[in-house]
Amino acid sequence: MIIGVPREIKDNEARVGVTPAGVKALAEAGHTVLVETQAGEQSGFPDESYQNAGAEIVGDAGHVWGNSALVVKVKEPIEPEYVYFREGLILFTYLHLAPMRALTDKLLESKMICIAYETVRDSRGTLPLLTPMSEVAGRMSVQVGANYLEKERGGRGILLGGVPGVPPAHVAILGGGIVGTNAARIALGLGARTTLIDMNLNRLRELDDIFNGRLYTLASNSYNVAQVTREADLVIGGVLIPGATAPKLVTRAMVAEMKKGAVIVDVAIDQGGCVETARPTSHSNPSYKVDGVVHYCVTNMPGAVPNTSTLALTNSTFPYLLRLANLGARDALRQDAGLAEGLNTWLGTLTHGGVAESQQRAWTAPANVIK
Ligand SMILES: NC(=O)c1ccc[n+]([C@@H]2O[C@H](COP(=O)([O-])OP(=O)(O)OC[C@H]3O[C@@H](n4cnc5c(N)ncnc54)[C@H](O)[C@@H]3O)[C@@H](O)[C@H]2O)c1
């Protein structure tokens, strides 16, 4: 199969869909890989590294899209890329179609086969192609928070780990899923006093075990959230109710009660945020203050560390990509029900219930179109 890897052109997107290691494995399996020039540059992979791995470097995006049977990307296509859509072309990428009716229309009109990273499931029912980005954001949240706690960045001038004779900072983590667990690991590693709140008691039991009692765990209720945020130097928001807007666990009144110069990193901002005073920010203007509390609410935190993020993402996406290339879309989807859950459009038919529900339109289950 001929596989195309275009350069991402969405604002601030520095990741790339395939690494040189992926190119090598695809080439060894007999496939041809067309990589647009500079596609991996910002992730730390120059053209030369792709060429050495067996890719053909191509000067323009039109050539990549036009000559490939499968295009692998990171973000959803944006308008200048719509002209490249054509019947039967397989697109493997993050799509987040639910709120994007115009893109959905285009993909259906042009009869593309679109498999969205964010809806692929594994045998345990989790979302394996979303997990790596939550791992990155969770670990990064403590690093970012530690930075903003410095006086120069507007924080209260406190070192997370303290020093002998001086107590460490208090980190409060809301949500004990992937983001929360990874944040806890780094916060504890840096020596902070760390408390994690979740509504799922079994999850708290697991975390108590994993961290050997070093992590303080608390059941989620507004009393506990108010108390913990009042005492915290750094609050990290990582709650998620799948498919829904994040619950506002930290109210405006709780923020007003926080220490001046404390920091909130609301990772859940991509789902609306779990702090009432949080609003989406970008890497070019990442923070602002409310009631003297620094808020950092960047919606695509992994974008700041494209090298790590590209490697983490492609570690997870590559096995699926290789199967799609080896078997073709129909057989790969037939053989893996979890991958089939990633199918969002098939040759003009909408095939994802969640997208259909958000856009109030008809859909057909993947099993009915790929048989
Ligand atoms: N900003 C970014 O760049 C970025 C990057 C990756 C992930 N995220 C977002 O971070 C959020 C968390 O992702 P995740 O992968 O950790 O999700 P997850 O499903 O693994 O974990 C969510 C946790 O929240 C808990 N929870 C739900 N409601 C709660 C409540 N009322 N009180 C306390 N806990 C509650 C759940 O029990 C679960 O343990 C998501 O919104 C995700 O999209 C953002």
Q: Report how far apart, in Å, the C-alpha atoms of 318 and of each of 27, 224, 285, 331 are.
A: 13, 42, 33, 17
pLDDT of residue 195 exceeding 90, the answer is yes
Amino acid at 233: D
Q: What pLDDT score was predicted for residue 15?
A: 96
Q: What pLDDT score was predicted for residue 122?
A: 95
pLDDT of residue 101 exceeding 80, the answer is yes
Q: How many angstroms is it from 267 CA to the middle of ligand 1?
A: 8
pLDDT of residue 67 exceeding 70, the answer is yes
Strands 263-266 and 193-198: unpaired
Q: Ligand 1: residues within 6 Å at CB?
A: 133-134, 137, 174-180, 197-200, 203, 220, 238-241, 246-247, 249, 267-271, 299-302
Reference 274, options 198, 184, 358, 201; nearest CA is 198
pLDDT of residue 242 exceeding 80, the answer is no
Candidates 130, 178, 179, 186: which one to mutate for ligand 1, based on the most atoms within 8 Å of Cβ? 179
Q: What percent of the chain has pLDDT over 70?
A: 99
Q: What average pLDDT is seen over the chain? A: 96
Q: What pLDDT score was predicted for residue 257?
A: 98
Q: How many angstroms is it from 198 CA to the middle of ligand 1?
A: 10
Query: Sheet holding 113-116: strands in order across?
Result: 56-58, 32-36, 2-5, 70-72, 90-93, 113-116, 343-346, 349-350
| Lowest-confidence pick of 11-15, 44-48, 101-105 | 11-15
Q: What pLDDT score was predicted for residue 245?
A: 78
Q: What percent of the chain has pLDDT over 90?
A: 92
Distance from C-alpha of 335 to C-alpha of 315, rounded to nearest angstrom: 21
Q: What pLDDT score was predicted for residue 165?
A: 98
Q: How many angstroms is it from 155 CA to the middle of ligand 1?
A: 25
Whole-prediction pTM: 0.91
Q: How many angstroms is it from 268 CA to the middle of ligand 1?
A: 6
Task: Verify whether residue 295 is a known catalytic residue.
Answer: no
| Lowest-confidence pick of 35-39, 171-175, 269-273, 359-363 | 269-273
Reference 345, options 85, 133, 128; nearest CA is 85
Q: Tokens 């001046």: give the residue.
A: 260
Considering the candidates 96, 170, 295, 352, report the single residue annotated as catalytic: 96
Sequence-distant (≥ 6) Cβ neighbours of residue 160 within 8 angstroms: 142, 145, 146, 149, 168, 169, 171, 187, 190, 191, 192, 233, 234
Nearest CA to ligand 1 atom 33: 198
Q: Indicate the pLDDT class of residue 271, thresholds 50, 70 and 90.
A: confident
Candidates 229, 239, 282, 299: which one to mutate for ligand 1, based on the most atoms within 8 Å of Cβ? 239
Q: Indicate the pLDDT class of residue 243, thresholds 50, 70 and 90.
A: low
pLDDT of residue 147 exceeding 70, the answer is yes
